[in-house]
Homo-oligomer: A and B are copies of this chain.
Amino acid sequence: MTPAHTLAFRGIWPAMLTPLTASLDIDHDAFARHALALLDAGCGGVTAFGTTGEGPSFSVAERMAAVEALVARGVPAQRLMVSTSCAAVTDTVALTKHAVGLGVHGCLVLPPFFFKGVSDQGIVDAYRWLIDRVADPRLRLYLYHIPQVAGVGLSHGVIRSLLAQYPDTIAGIKDSGCDQVHSVGLAQAFMPPITVYVGFEPDLPALGRLGSTGAISGLANFAPRLVHRLVTQPDGPDAGRDLARVKALLTVFDGFSLMPALKGVMAEREGHAGWLRVRPPLVALSATEQAELRQRLQAFGLDASRD
């Protein structure tokens, strides 16, 4: 077997927002257009159904159908990452088997997120359940740490245990905890052999200097080039300007619910109000909020050729 980490992704694989129809179902056509546009813009691949993509707000059947629709509309499966995270391990197995069967690059998986305060042993047991029941050497797994949303995080002990048991499966860690000290600690402990991908964009240069080679990023939905430079050229000629620019971009979202506001940017960019829609329990921006977002965006001045 080839250790999974040697085949880990490089470059930017945006955490895609999920466009919805008027009935709040997934708009397969708009979703595929978005994925293809990001690949055209130079992204290494795209990620479906992470937190930014409201993944756990959709059923297993809805997620399977949407991933199939992406592939059917021309997104190369090997440039697709799917977050197959569910509260029930049986659901995670079903989604992961399906994605692996389609030939995706990898799956991004949270620990089960309903029970809180669970032991490291219980989290390891859940990943073991997944890997052993998927039982497919093609499975490439990225561990997903976002405790402020999931309510359950991944300790060094959990990661160490899984790496020791499944070196041919564990390819990397996505750390979206938004805590640079924690991200650097992960990088120092585990990179190499595996890659740590940081979710909070202002931390990308620090992780890039430590050897991180890519990102699964929400801002990359509309600023993929900027995000790419941050991690791949942390000391490049534009590094200072880029870091200031991504920090300024984040202030565009101050005071808004993040996912609805990221979708608001897409609605402005695409001129398509369908991007504003979210699944409950998220709430779409109001018209007033969208107008405020529009003003801030104009002041920021997104530049498609550089951002």
Chain A residues in contact with chain B, CB under 8 A? 24, 56-60, 62, 86-91, 94, 111-116, 118-119, 121-123, 125-126, 128-129, 148-152, 257, 279-283
Contact of A114 among B60, B111, B119, B149 (CB under 8 A): B149
| Oligomer: number of copies | 2
Which of A24, A118, A125 is packed against the most chain B CB atoms within 10 Å? A125
Q: Is the CB of A57 within 8 A of B280?
A: no
Could you list some 21 contacts between A and B, CB below 8 A?
Answer: A57-B88, A57-B89, A58-B88, A59-B91, A59-B94, A89-B279, A111-B281, A112-B281, A113-B113, A114-B150, A115-B281, A116-B148, A118-B257, A118-B281, A119-B257, A119-B281, A122-B282, A125-B280, A126-B280, A126-B281, A152-B281
Query: Is B57 in contact with A122, judged by CB distance below 8 angstroms?
Result: no
How far apart are the CA atoms of A102 and B29 in the complex, in Å? 37
Instruction: State how many angstroms separate the Cβ of A279 from the closest Cβ of chain B.
Output: 7
Q: A118-B281, A118-B283 are in contact. List 11 more A-B contacts (CB 8 A).
A: A24-B129, A58-B88, A59-B90, A62-B90, A86-B87, A115-B281, A116-B148, A118-B282, A119-B283, A122-B280, A126-B280
Chain B residues with Cβ under 8 A from A282's Cβ? Answer: 115, 118, 122
- Which residues of B have CB within 8 Å of A59? 60, 88, 90-91, 94
User: What is the minimal beta-carbon distance from A213 to any residue of chain B, in angstroms?
Assistant: 29
**Chain B residues near A128 (CB-CB < 8 A):** 280
- A125 near B94 with CB under 8 A, answer no
Query: Which 10 A-B residue pairings sit nearest by Cβ, starting from the closest?
Result: A122-B281, A126-B280, A56-B114, A125-B280, A56-B87, A118-B281, A151-B151, A59-B90, A122-B283, A112-B281
A280 to B131: give the CA distance in the assembly, Å. Answer: 13
Q: How far is the CB of A55 from chain B (nearest CB, A)?
A: 8
A62's closest neighbor in chain B, by CB? B90
Q: Is the CB of A280 within 8 A of B112?
A: yes
For the complex, what is the distance from the CA of A24 to the CA of B89, rounded to whole Å? Answer: 11
Q: Which residues of B contact A111 (CB under 8 A)?
A: 281
Q: How far is the CA of A122 from the CA of B285 in the complex (A)?
A: 12
Q: Which residues of the other chain, B, contact A112 by a CB distance below 8 angstroms?
A: 57, 280-281
Partner of A57, one of B87, B148, B281, B283: B87
Give A259's nearest chain B residue, CB to CB. B115
How far apart sit A125 and B283, CA to CA, in the bound complex (Å)? Answer: 8
Assembly CA distance A122 to B57 (angstroms): 12
| Shortest beta-carbon distance from A242 to chain B in Å | 29
Q: In the complex, which residues of chain B have a beta carbon less than 8 angstroms from the beta carbon of A281? A: 111-112, 115, 118-119, 122-123, 125-126, 152
